[in-house]
Amino acid sequence: MELKYTRKNVYKEADGKQLEEIYAFAEGYKAFLDASKTERDASVTAKKLAEENGFKPFSFSEKLKAGDKRYFINRYKNVFLIKVGTENVAKDGVRIMVAHVDSPRLDLKPNPLYEEAGLCYLKTHYYGGIKKYQWTATPLALHGVAVLRGGERVEICVGEDENDPIFYITDLLPHLAAEQSTKPLGKAIDGESLNAVVGGLPAVDGDEEENKEAVKNAILKLLNKKYGITEIDLQCSELCFVPAGRARDVGFDGALISAYGHDDKVCAYPEMKAIFDCNSPHTVVAVFADKEEVGSVGNTGMQSKVISDVIETIANSFNANPIEVRYNSKCISADVTAGYDPAYPSAFEKRNSTFVSCGAAVSKYTGARGKSSTNDASAEFMGWIRDIFEDNGVFWQTGELGAVDVGGGGTVAQFISNLGIDTVDVGVPVLSMHAPYELISKADVYALYQACLAFCK
């Protein structure tokens, strides 16, 4: 029996074989990330992988039976993977893992296209918590869908292929930024200045009126030729700018990964892999949630009734009481936390921080200003989680998101626990969270996979 608790570094503890597994797992993760920058992209990837793993489309009116594997894609943006076990669902409940697949980014405004000073722009309205200055002077890609008159959907993805153009938001040159440089960080870049350059080649055809907005006209012609869309179709679209780069190894040893959208794909990938790989007597559900970054609202966010409906469908399949199933269910809210950053020590309390490469990060609670607006996992459920992690050799640690009263954050945990389900936050420590390129350790994404496997088992 060890009297003292010491946090362990996974890389120090891992043997040669484990180290190989950690690095191999990271390759799959990077491929998933590059294909899954938005919640729509992630839903497409999840569907493809689910089908490869023998999952079939789900229906609310079907009778599920042990051994069934189902996927439900809710409105292109929210995924439920269901694996029905042999245990009695009324007594055993459902093992639920929820990660979100939306990440902070720049959405297009409804009337985004305009021309100014010989350049054509798309206006944006940022989505989620961003530091605006980080989104200027960096390559951006455009992802999403537009719906034409009559309902045809047109998928758009520009800026990811090597040969694609990218899009670009300008910043002021330092020579003229004397005034800008005196502004607080949060005010230096105005939200209304986050307009991306999308063209500069005018279509000159001699018509005076036409030539007034010659670049915009040329871009509209180009968009129409390529996608069949007209300007009003942009009002029926969901298009956004995301960083154009790929996931890359970081460090001479490649121990870390920098990428857009680790929050929260770094948890979505392990939970998805765990439901594919687990051989469990329990009924397991893995969720890819949308809208977490803006409050989990709407019919694809975790405040909606959809998760209850899925549980009810499982319950009805076995003539079990859905309330009983819910109350006996357990949930890992798989979301990232802020790892201790030695560059900004005052934002953290070192004894109660999570550290990069020290394993899956368990947060009993999140919240801000006196633990407000958070799920707070019970001592009993924390004890249960500790036992399953310890029994299965999972590398895990625990900590808070930053020092008291410095700020805070929330996850979907509170919305799941509101349903009467025991819930705890288990994720991955991230550095530079919500930046265009965030940083995580390969050891931690693998540790979370082990944690999810242990939870399913």
Interface stretch with Mn ion, choices 40-48, 178-186, 263-271, 399-407 (CB under 5 A): 263-271
Residue spans of alpha helices (H) in 248-400? 262-277, 306-317, 322-327, 379-391
Give the three-class secondary structure for 42: helix
263 touches Mn ion (CB under 5 A): yes
Per-residue burial over 355-387, b if 16 or more Cβ lie within 10 Å, else e, is bbbbbbbbbbbbbbeeeeebbbbeeebbebbee
End-to-end CA distance of the chain: 26
The residue (of 68 and 264) whose beta carbon lies closer to Mn ion is 264
Of 41 and 263, the one with the shorter C-beta distance to Mn ion is 263
Measured from the CB atom, the residue of 264 and 290 that comes closer to Mn ion is: 264
Q: Select 99 or 194, whichever has its Cβ closest to Mn ion.
A: 99
The length of the chain in residues reads 457
Task: Write the DSSP assignment of 201-262 as a string of letters.
Answer: -----S-HHHHTTHHHHHHHHHHHHHH---GGGGGGEEEEEEE-PPPEEESTT--EEEETTH
292's tokens: 């977490």
Of the two residues 237 and 432, which places its CB atom closer to Mn ion in the complex?
Answer: 432
Binding pattern to Mn ion, positions 127-166, x when CB under 5 A?
----------------------------------------
Answer for the pair 354, 399: CB distance below 8 angstroms, yes or no.
yes
Which range, of 32-40, 41-49, 165-173, 258-266, touches Mn ion by CB under 5 A? 258-266
Residue 336 CB, shortest distance to Mn ion, in Å, is 5
Q: Does residue number 290 form part of the binding site for Mn ion (CB under 5 A)?
A: no
Does the CA dihedral 9-11-12-18 come out positive or negative? positive
Contact criterion met (CB below 8 Å) for 283 and 66: no
Work out which of 41, 68, 102, 264 binds Mn ion, going by CB under 5 A.
Answer: 264
Interface pattern 192-221 for Mn ion (x via CB under 5 A) = ------------------------------
Scan residues 319-358 and list those touching Mn ion (CB under 5 A). Answer: 335
**Which one-letter amino acid corresponds to residue 29?**
Y
Distance, in Å, from the CA atom of 422 to the CA atom of 364, rounded to the nearest integer, reads: 11
Q: Counting contacts by CB under 5 A, is residue 39 touching Mn ion? A: no
Of the candidate spans 29-37, 204-212, 256-264, 341-349, the one that interacts with Mn ion by CB under 5 A turns out to be 256-264
Count the residues of the shown chain that bind Mn ion, applying the rule CB under 5 A: 3
Q: Which is nearer to Mn ion, 115 or 263 (CB)?
A: 263
| Complex with Mn ion: residue 22 or 98, whichever CB lies closer | 98
CB atoms within 10 A of CB 442: 26
Residues that bind Mn ion in the complex, under the rule CB under 5 A: 263-264, 335
